[in-house]
Structure 1
Amino acid sequence: MNWKNAIINSRHTIKSAIQNLNETGLQVSLVEDDNKAFLGTITDGDIRRGLLKGIDLSQSIQSIINRNSLVVPPLMSREMVLQLMKVNRIHQIPIVNESGNLVGLHLMDEILQPSKLDNLFVIMAGGKGVRLLPYTENCPKPMLPVAGKPMLEHIIDKAIGEGFQNFLISIYYLGHMIENYFKNGSEKGIKISYLREETPLGTAGALSLIKKFPLKPFVVTNGDVMTDIRYNELLEFHVLHKATATMAVRVHEWQNPFGVVKTKGVEILGFEEKPVYRNHVNAGIYAIQPDSLHYLNPGEICDMPKLFEKIAENRKRIIAYPMHEPWMDIGREEDLIKIRGIQDTL
């Protein structure tokens, strides 16, 4: 759906608004002034109410614009947008930025059944999982079962539910088990290809094996990260901010178990009782522009933070996507036991 087709200028006639509604099928027209500022919406109901008042079809739409239409900011979550739609009994909500300009349109049908995305979804699943021995002795870490199916399948199914169709899985340790399980993805109605590492290349190095660069920005996630993050919203955030690379980050809190004494030389300046320190940590999920792959050397070990540094060194924009959703990196036995317990209670 190209929402921009629903935009009409405030100088248009009611007749042209009717034509726009019929052509787009979106049940709403988005009205802008000559400076591209959003003025409001027009629906079939607005037109009918105008006609009942005796307005002629050749008249300007100025008198029937709903100037108090509900709008939302670009970063509002889909869940919140859906709630607003249900409460207000509407099926479309314009997305308006801080400058008062249209940047998109939410449709209930697309939120309930996300449109298909042709953006690539890459999963790094080649790690040995040494810290999870003996669980990983005969099973690659992403294939460890959680709630009846492999962690990797949870990630793929979640991405499918958000519209992703094209998957690329990086494999190394016991990679044949992953290939034998998922094959080409046809059983799930998707396409799965594989990057086969001959030696471990790190969390970004495997991307250097991509022979044909994607045409659109793509998502990358570690194969051992379980989360409720919406991958498609990360991608939208990345595109909206015109970044070259976006890293999902979480706030990590650590409380000092002791009271801290602030000093200058021998002088005591003050006290802070068991202070809490907050930092942003890498969540292992990213959105990447295709041209970022130029900063990787084929077959060379590289982790994601290093790739981000290379991008920044070339004066390209790297940004953080703050996430609040439940998240767990399954790197230790206690993590695996915990996530299994959480899933079993759902």
Structure 2
Amino acid sequence: MRDAFTVVDMNDLSDVFVVDDSTRLVGAVSEQDLRRALLGGVSLDDPITPLVRPWRATANQAADRAAVLDLMRALGVRNIPVVDSVDRVIGLHVERRIIGVPKLPNWAVIMAGGKGTRLGSLTKTVPKPMLTVAGRPILERLVLHLVGSGVEKIFLSVNYLANIIEKHFGDGGHLGCSIEYLREDPDVPLGTGGALRLLGDLGYQADYPLLVMNGDLVTNFSVSGLLEAHRKEQVLATIATSTYHHEVPFGVLRSERNQLTRIVEKPIQEWPVNAGIYTVDPVLIGRIPVDQEFPITRLFEDCLSRGEKVGLWPLRDDWQDIGRPNELAQARGQ
């Protein structure tokens, strides 16, 4: 009982989770049950075994933080354990944080200042990153995914309808992270790269590679996988890539010397494309011009012109860019 109260007090939990000698989940005891037991005469030195009840709401290591929070809301619980393939407890999702996930020293910068003009009337009063997918803003899903991956410091680059974004996210505390804002001049949009120079205006200088991404993506990419690839390849920047497929709607004729050798019916071609997710070494930030629109891709072109390496990292996870009405409908399952 004493150990259980200590866990509750140190971690501000509503439930204590009980494991066996192999750390497999046995069940849980609520804080309320602990207090009732004390009032009923149980000693602090007594075991909690009689109070343990079954607990079936768990999440695996790859579970999306947003989905876990939605499950909490549906079940009316404040905590969900993270278990591995044999039910060993390796972490714990709590409403405002996640326990057991290694914290990353890397900061993340999310570009959320665009007008989203291709979405027409949908973005007249709502910034594109705040459009909802499965009941939650796209930008919030990104933030929660980063938090669930161990990122604690996030910067949101804002411009168009910035007040809506800032009011929703605040300082990020309710989402389990610290959020600050890179505010562009509405009359001087800085593009996907220029806003990175605003980090210096806030007095920040990164010591570790930065995660940079567009704010209109629906994805559960592996944050640790991208960072590890960047470190392993020893490059200055890494671009996450998706794959674009195009089906030729005709039978393609292969030939040699004007004679048919083969007919290929409706072949599919594919190419790696920019997924809007990057890792950037801090040294590159100083190369970005001040107060100018600067696409981040120009930074990578500059690296190539200097003979410096830029890595490519293929995404293995779901990825959807929300730029057009049909893409938003697809993400919403419509």
Conserved? CA contact 1:295–1:311, under 8 Å:
no
Conserved? CA contact 1:245–1:308, under 8 Å:
yes
Question: Match of 2:300, SS?
Answer: helix
2:211 counterpart (209, 216, 219): 219
2:270 counterpart (278, 287, 291): 278
Residue aligning to 2:192: 203
Residue aligning to 2:23: none
Query: Deviation of residue 219 (structure 1)?
Result: 0.6
Superposed, which structure 2 residues align to 1:279-294 within 5 Å?
A: 279-294=271-286
Query: Deviation of residue 264 (structure 1)?
Result: 5.6
Question: Match of 1:257, SS?
Answer: coil
Question: Match of 1:331, SS?
Answer: coil
2:177 counterpart (190, 195, 200): 190
User: Deviation per CA, 1:189-231, whole angstroms, max 9, x where unpaired?
Assistant: 3211111111222211211222032110111110000012122
Residue aligning to 1:35: none
Residue aligning to 1:249: 241
Residue aligning to 1:121: 108
Superposed, which structure 2 residues align to 1:132-143 within 5 Å?
A: 132-143=119-130
CA distance in 1, matches of 2:130, 2:254: 49
Residue aligning to 1:144: 131
AA partner of residue 317 (structure 1): K
Conserved? CA contact 2:115–2:128, under 8 Å:
yes
AA partner of residue 231 (structure 1): V
Query: Deviation of residue 272 (structure 1)?
Result: 2.6
User: Deviation per CA, 1:309-344, whole angstroms, max 9, x where unpaired?
Assistant: 1112222210110112111001111111221227xx
Aligned residues: 245
Question: Match of 1:135, SS?
Answer: helix
CA distance in 1, matches of 2:295, 2:182: 16
Residue aligning to 2:54: none
Query: Deviation of residue 271 (structure 1)?
Result: 3.3
Residue aligning to 2:78: none
Question: Match of 1:299, SS?
Answer: coil
CA distance in 1, matches of 2:316, 2:88: 28
CA distance in 1, matches of 2:120, 2:88: 52
1:319 counterpart (311, 315, 320): 311
The sequence identity of aligned pairs, in percent, is 37
Query: Deviation of residue 291 (structure 1)?
Result: 0.7
CA distance in 1, matches of 2:322, 2:213: 13
2:168 counterpart (173, 178, 181): 181
CA distance in 2, matches of 1:219, 1:255: 33
Residue aligning to 1:20: none
Conserved? CA contact 2:189–2:292, under 8 Å:
no
Residue aligning to 1:155: 142
Q: Which sections of structure 1, spanning at least 5 residues, go unmatched?
A: 1-77, 80-84, 92-107
AA partner of residue 181 (structure 2): Y
